Structure 1
């Protein structure tokens, strides 16, 4: 599995959080519009960083070489996540711990939905 080293880096970089892998968009997004739901129900986020109470606070996408030629599909996936208020962090290579900690900071998470802010408040 190409994602295992990335998962390990995320766990090391954020020991006070829970890192989940391959999370269904249906677990992250809600809508009463079946047509919209059909557009995302079979999609998965590579990694979700959660508070210890399992409130999702950030999405990490690992765009390795298997994503080549899938930029349009990735943009649609990102649109859904951003529209729901999730910050999305994309990496083509596995970053070092310092880079992850520089990118995924409370400041980078500040433009999130009220639901995500409530999840962050539970953590503190």
Structure 2
């Protein structure tokens, strides 16, 4: 696995935003909303091409420290408990966790600074 390990503070792109599927309008719309939420505060790269693993790998290669995936839980298709949450992936550990969209900006700003 090729990874450019920039410290989050100096990484050119801070976060990648990915809808799980590009042919599901609800996912794309929500991903655009998340991008609009983050973009005033940090450099965001939006990508909907190819498999999610390839998108993660491309961002790892250019040093993007965080990936945000909008999936079926986000739009409530798998029940209400995870609605309006996203999967936040960390580049170095590859750890993934569910985060409320309302908490995402403050969490990322804390991690980046």
TM-score strictly above 0.5: no
TM-score (norm 1): 0.33
**Which structure has the bigger radius of gyration?**
1
